[in-house]
Amino acid sequence: MKKTIALLFPEENPAITANVQRITFAAIAQNIFALCLLFFIIKKFEIESNTGINSLPYFLIPAYLLYAIVPIRFKAAVYVTLFVSCTYFAFGWLSGSVLLLLLLIPFFIFTIALTWNYRLLLTILFLGFMCLLRSDILYMPSVNLVIPFAASVLIFRVILLLYESKYNGIHNNHWLNLAYLFSFNHLFFLLGPVVDYKIFVRSFQAVNARENTNRAFWFLFSGAFLFILHRISTAIFATDAVTDLNTLIPFLIGNYLVVLKIVATLTFAVGCITLFGFQLPNPFGLFLFADSFKSYWRKVNIYWREFMMKLIYYPVYFELRKKSSYAFFIALFSTFIFSWFFHWYQKTWITGIISSTSTDFLFWLALGLLVAFTSNAQNVSVDNKGLEKTFSQNLLKGCKVLLVFTVMSVLWLLWKSESLADFFFILSKGANVKLASGAKIAGVVLICICAFAWVSFFVQKKKAENLKQEHGTYVIIVLLSLLLLLQYFYRNTESPKWLSVITMPEKVATQEQEKNEAGYYESIMNTGANWEISLKRSRRFNSLDEITVRTNDLLLQKFAPNKTLVYNEHLITTNSFGLRDKQYAFAKPDSVYRICLLGTSYELGMGVDDSEVFESITEQKLNTKNANLKIEMLNFSMGGYCVVQQFELMQKVVPSYKPDEIILFAHTDELRRFNNFFCRYIKNGTDLKYDFLKKIKQEAGVNQHQSRLEIKERLLPFMAQITAYCYRGIVDQCKKQNIKPVWVFLPTTTDLLTPTKINEVRTLAVEEGFETYVLNTAYAHTNGKDITMSETDTHPNKLGHFLIAQSFYNLLTDSSNHLLETTTWTKNKSKIQ
C-alpha cells in the first residue's frame, strides 16, 4: 500500500520542497475567511451568477482546506479532485464522466511513450472526433453538451502540449499533467487564460505558500472588483443613440470597456489556479494606459501574446531572418493574422457556429499593422522604468495614452460591428459637432491628460511600485466592503443606473442579459451563460423552423398546421388553422363568445407546454367557472410578431373566424422592438404592400443596401406613426366586423415599471379607439428569477404563465371592465339563460 502511494505521489525535488514554507493554521483560517468574503461579495453583487459560480465555494473552500493541510506531494491531486467533484456536480454522472474522459484522452496521448508524429496524428484524430460531436453530426446528447467545455480547456492546451513534447518533453509528475488539463475555471467561464504548459508545471510550489496565496487573493478580489467596475462603466457610458460627437465618445468608451469584463474573467480564473500553488504571472498589464501600440500589445493579455510569440512570431522570424530584411515586420504581422485565425478557431469551437465577419479580420489586420509599424520605429528597447520623468514628460505621455486609447476604442468598435457599413455609419456621427460641445469635449480631454500626468508624477514620486501586492488586496477588499454597505443601506429604484448596478444588482444583472451585445467576446461569454439551458436539454435541440413556414409577405413566418414539436423540452402543438392552440370549429357556434389573441412570444408561451400557456389556463378557468357559457380564445400569437403582422392578420385572417372581441397585447419597449423588426423588412427587401408603409420607407430614405444601424436610426422617428396607423387599421376593421377592440399591456418579467414605459404606446391605442388595460400586477410580490425560464431567457415560465393567467382572468371577469359583454354576446347569453 505504502509502495502504491509512493508510486502515485512521488516526492518532489527536495530543492522545491525546501522552498515551500508550511502554512500555519491561523493563516489557513484567515484564507478561508477571505474566500467566504469573496463568495459572499460575488453572491451579493450577482457577479456572473448565470455561470453557476455561486456553487463553487461548496467545493473550492473544502478543497482549499484540504490542499492547505496535506503534504506537498498530495497537493496537485487535491486540485485534480476539485475539478472532478465540480464536474460531477455541474454535469451529473453521465455527462461529467464524458467530460473527464475527453480530457483524459489528451492526457494519455501526451504521457504514454509515443513518437511525436504519433502524438500529432492522435491529436488530429481526437480533435476531428470532437469536431464531429460539436457539429452534431455524431449526435449523443450527453456528450454533445460538454463539448464546448472540453473544447475551451483543450483547443489551445493540446497545441502547447504538442509544442512542448516536441522541444522540451512532458513533465514526469502526472498529477501536474492532469492538473494542466483539469482546469476547473473552465467549468464556469468558457473564456480562460491560455496558460503555458511549461510555466504551469514549473510554477507549482515555486514560491512559499504565503506569497502565493497573497497573489491568488490579489487576482481573485481584483477580478471580482473588475466585474463590478465593468458594470458601473457600462451604466455610466450607456448611450441610447449615437447622434453626434457628444454621444459618440461615451458610446466608444462604453463599447471598449467591455475589455474590463474580459480582464476580470481571466484574472479571476488565474486567481483560482494560483490559489492551489501554481504561481502564474499577471495576465494583464495596465494596457488601458499604454502609450504606444507596442506597449499595448505587450500588456494586453500577456498569456495570449506569449502563446502567439512561441507558436508564430519566433518560428516565422527564424525562417525569414536570413532571407528578408523585413523579417521582424513579417513575423509580427503574421502573429496578428494568426491571432485572427485562432480567435475564429476559438469562437467556432465554443459557439459551434462557423462564422467570421470582415470586421473581425480588419480589426486584427489594423492592430497588426499598427504594432508592426510602431515596433519597427521603436527598435531600441530602452526601458525607462528607473528614470524619473518630469511633469511635462508625463503630460506628453498622457497625450500618447489618449491617442492609443482612442484608436483602440475605434478599433474595438470595428471588431464589434456587424458590418463595415455599420462601423462607418456610427463613426460618421462624430462629424456632427457643435462649437460649444466641441469646446466641452476638448476641456474634458485636457483635464484627463493633466490628471494622468499629475497621478503619474505623484506615483513615481511616492515610489508606489514598492507597495506590496497584499496592500493592494486590502484596498480592494475595503472598497468592495464599502460597496456592500452601500448596497445594504441604500436601495432605491429611482437612483441613477450606475448606482443601481451596485445597490440593486439583481435587477440590472437580468437586464444586462437581455442586451446580449454583439461582439467576439460576448458571443463566447453568452455561450457559457446558456450552459444550464443546454444541460436541461435531453433531446436533440429542435428549431422552431421545423414547424414554421416562411412566407414572402408581411408576416414573414407562420406556423404550419397540425404539427408537434418538443422545443426546449416543451410541447408545442399547432391546430389545423396553424395556431398554437387546441382545435376549434372554424365556424363560430352561436352560443360561443370568441376572443382572438394577437400577441408575441409571451402570449405564444415560448418555454412552457401547450396546457401551461396563460391563454389556455384563462380559457379553461373562464369556462369552468361559467359552466353555462362557452368562451373560446383563439391564440394568433407568434414569436417575433409586431404590430404590422397583427394589422395584417386583422386584414386577412382574423375576421373570418368571426370573433366577438380581439385582444391585442403590447409590451415594454414596443417601439424599439418594432424598430428592429421593421429593419428586417427593409434588409430582406420585403414587399411592404400597403401605401402608408411604402410612403414611410420613402420618407425615411431607407433601402436594402444601407447598414442596419442606419436603417434603424432613420426609421425610429416613424415607429409611433406606423404603430398608430396599424392600430387605426385594426380598430377600423373591428368596427366593420362588429368586433370589440381591446388593448392590454403585459409587462415583461424583468420590468421596473414606470408610467412612461406603459404610456409610450397606450396613448396611441387610446387615441385610435381601443379599450386599454394594464396587467401591471401580474407578477406582484415575486422574484424575477422565480417566474422566468432562466437568467438568460426571460420569457415567463410555468409559474409566470400561471400568474399572468390569474391576472388576465381577473381583468376579463371584473364586471366594471365589461370585457366579456358585447351586444351580440349579451343577446346570446340571454338566449342560453
Partner 1 sequence: MDKEQIKNSVRNYIAQNIFGNKLPNDFNDDTALVSSRLMDSISTLKMINHFEDELKIECKAHEVTADNLDSVNVFTAFLLRKLSK
Q: Would you count residue 383 as binding partner 1 (CB under 8 A)? A: yes
- 622 half-sphere exposure, CB direction, 13 A CA radius: 26
Which residues have C-beta within 8 Å of that of residue 1, sequence separation ≥ 6? none
Give 204's DSSP letter.
B
Q: Would you count residue 379 as binding partner 1 (CB under 8 A)? A: yes
| Nearest CB to partner 1, comparing residues 180 and 415 | 180
Q: Would you count residue 15 as binding partner 1 (CB under 8 A)? A: no
| Nearest CB to partner 1, comparing residues 323 and 781 | 323
Rounded to whole angstroms, the Cα distance separating 584 from 564 reads 17
- Report in angstroms how near the CB of residue 376 gets to partner 1 at its nearest: 8
Q: Among 16, 61, 236, 309, which residue sits at the site for partner 1 (rule: CB under 8 A)?
A: 309
| Binding span for partner 1 by CB under 8 A among 69-77, 373-381, 488-496, 559-567 | 373-381
Rounded to whole angstroms, the Cα distance separating 51 from 270 reads 17
C-beta of residue 30 within 8 angstroms of C-beta of residue 193: no
| Nearest CB to partner 1, comparing residues 295 and 790 | 295
Query: Which is nearest to 483 in space by CA: 496, 499, 462?
Result: 499
| Binding span for partner 1 by CB under 8 A among 79-87, 314-322, 642-650, 725-733 | 314-322
Cβ-in-10-Å burial (0-12, 13-18, 19+) of 451 comes to exposed
Q: Would you count residue 375 as binding partner 1 (CB under 8 A)? A: yes
- 713 half-sphere exposure, CB direction, 13 A CA radius: 14
Q: Among 75, 231, 294, 416, which residue sits at the site for partner 1 (rule: CB under 8 A)?
A: 294
User: Which residues 179-208 are close enough to bind partner 1 by CB under 8 A?
Assistant: 198
| Element holding 331 (H helix, E strand) | helix 327-351
The string of DSSP letters for 692-720 reads HHHHHHHHHT--TTS-HHHHHHHHGGGHH
Task: Tell me how far apart the 2 most distant CA atoms of the chain are, in Å.
Answer: 102
Q: Would you count residue 436 as binding partner 1 (CB under 8 A)? A: no
| Binding span for partner 1 by CB under 8 A among 316-324, 494-502, 706-714, 811-819 | 316-324
Rounded to whole angstroms, the Cα distance separating 789 from 510 reads 12
Rounded to whole angstroms, the Cα distance separating 602 from 801 reads 9
Q: Would you count residue 330 as binding partner 1 (CB under 8 A)? A: no
Q: Among 74, 89, 163, 541, which residue sits at the site for partner 1 (rule: CB under 8 A)?
A: 163
**Can you tell me whether residue 777 is helix, strand or coil?**
coil
| Binding span for partner 1 by CB under 8 A among 34-42, 145-153, 375-383, 783-791 | 375-383
Amino acid at 470: E
Instruction: Cell 416543451: give the residue.
Output: 570
- Cα distances from 432 to residues 117, 412, 613, 707, in angstroms, run 60, 21, 49, 19
- Report in angstroms how near the CB of residue 155 gets to partner 1 at its nearest: 21
**Can you tell me whether residue 594 is helix, strand or coil?**
strand
| Nearest CB to partner 1, comparing residues 314 and 458 | 314
| Binding span for partner 1 by CB under 8 A among 134-142, 166-174, 349-357, 556-564 | 166-174
| Binding span for partner 1 by CB under 8 A among 310-318, 485-493, 565-573, 582-590 | 310-318
Q: Quickly count: other Cβ atoms within 10 Å of residue 325's Cβ.
A: 8
| Nearest CB to partner 1, comparing residues 305 and 537 | 305
**Composition of the chain by helix, strand, coil, percent to 5:** 65, 5, 30
- Report in angstroms how near the CB of residue 156 gets to partner 1 at its nearest: 17
Q: Among 386, 463, 587, 833, which residue sits at the site for partner 1 (rule: CB under 8 A)?
A: 386
Q: Would you count residue 165 as binding partner 1 (CB under 8 A)? A: no
Instruction: Cell 468574503: give the residue.
Output: 37
Amino acid at 805: A
- Cα distances from 282 to residues 128, 183, 268, 303, 631, in angstroms, run 33, 17, 11, 9, 67
| Nearest CB to partner 1, comparing residues 315 and 352 | 315
C-beta of residue 239 within 8 angstroms of C-beta of residue 250: yes
Query: Which is nearest to 483 in space by CA: 509, 510, 507, 501?
Result: 501
Q: Would you count residue 325 as binding partner 1 (CB under 8 A)? A: no
Q: Would you count residue 167 as binding partner 1 (CB under 8 A)? A: yes
Q: Would you count residue 315 as binding partner 1 (CB under 8 A)? A: yes
Q: Among 116, 139, 318, 326, which residue sits at the site for partner 1 (rule: CB under 8 A)?
A: 318
Q: Would you count residue 725 as binding partner 1 (CB under 8 A)? A: no
- Report in angstroms how near the CB of residue 119 gets to partner 1 at its nearest: 16
C-beta of residue 741 within 8 angstroms of C-beta of residue 771: yes
Binding characters for partner 1, 245-284, by CB under 8 A (x = yes)? ------------------------------------x---
- Report in angstroms how near the CB of residue 279 gets to partner 1 at its nearest: 12
Rounded to whole angstroms, the Cα distance separating 610 from 595 reads 18
- Report in angstroms how near the CB of residue 196 gets to partner 1 at its nearest: 10
Amino acid at 559: F
| Nearest CB to partner 1, comparing residues 141 and 315 | 315
C-beta of residue 542 within 8 angstroms of C-beta of residue 565: yes
Per-residue three-class SS string for 420-476: HHHHHHHHHHHHCCCHHHHHHHHHHHHHHHHHHHHHHHHHHHHCHHHCCHHHHHHHH
| Nearest CB to partner 1, comparing residues 382 and 627 | 382
Q: Would you count residue 317 as binding partner 1 (CB under 8 A)? A: yes
Q: Would you count residue 320 as binding partner 1 (CB under 8 A)? A: no
Phi and psi of 571, rounded to 5°? Answer: -80, 130
| Nearest CB to partner 1, comparing residues 198 and 673 | 198
| Nearest CB to partner 1, comparing residues 381 and 783 | 381
User: Which residues 114-143 are close enough to bind partner 1 by CB under 8 A?
Assistant: none
- Report in angstroms how near the CB of residue 425 gets to partner 1 at its nearest: 38
- Report in angstroms how near the CB of residue 123 gets to partner 1 at its nearest: 18
- Report in angstroms how near the CB of residue 127 gets to partner 1 at its nearest: 22
Phi and psi of 780, rounded to 5°? Answer: -55, 140
Instruction: Find the angle CA(276)-CA(278)-CA(279) to the nearest 5 degrees.
Output: 125
| Binding span for partner 1 by CB under 8 A among 89-97, 374-382, 508-516, 636-644 | 374-382
C-beta of residue 121 within 8 angstroms of C-beta of residue 135: no
Q: How many residues bind partner 1 (CB under 8 A)?
A: 25
- Report in angstroms how near the CB of residue 309 gets to partner 1 at its nearest: 6
Binding characters for partner 1, 622-641, by CB under 8 A (x = yes)? --------------------
Q: Would you count residue 234 as binding partner 1 (CB under 8 A)? A: no
- Cα distances from 452 to residues 228, 393, 396, 458, 499, in angstroms, run 23, 11, 10, 10, 25
- Report in angstroms how near the CB of residue 164 gets to partner 1 at its nearest: 10
C-beta of residue 67 within 8 angstroms of C-beta of residue 276: yes
Query: Residue 175 forms beta bridges with which residues?
Result: none
| Nearest CB to partner 1, comparing residues 294 and 397 | 294
Amino acid at 186: H
- Report in angstroms how near the CB of residue 328 gets to partner 1 at its nearest: 6
| Nearest CB to partner 1, comparing residues 206 and 236 | 206
Q: Among 381, 628, 783, 833, which residue sits at the site for partner 1 (rule: CB under 8 A)?
A: 381
Q: Among 328, 423, 521, 602, which residue sits at the site for partner 1 (rule: CB under 8 A)?
A: 328
- Report in angstroms how near the CB of residue 372 gets to partner 1 at its nearest: 11
| Element holding 34 (H helix, E strand) | helix 25-44
| Binding span for partner 1 by CB under 8 A among 232-240, 267-275, 382-390, 782-790 | 382-390
Q: Would you count residue 321 as binding partner 1 (CB under 8 A)? A: yes
- Binding-site ranges for partner 1 (CB under 8 A): 163, 166-168, 198, 281, 294, 298, 309-310, 313-315, 317-319, 321, 328, 375, 379-383, 386
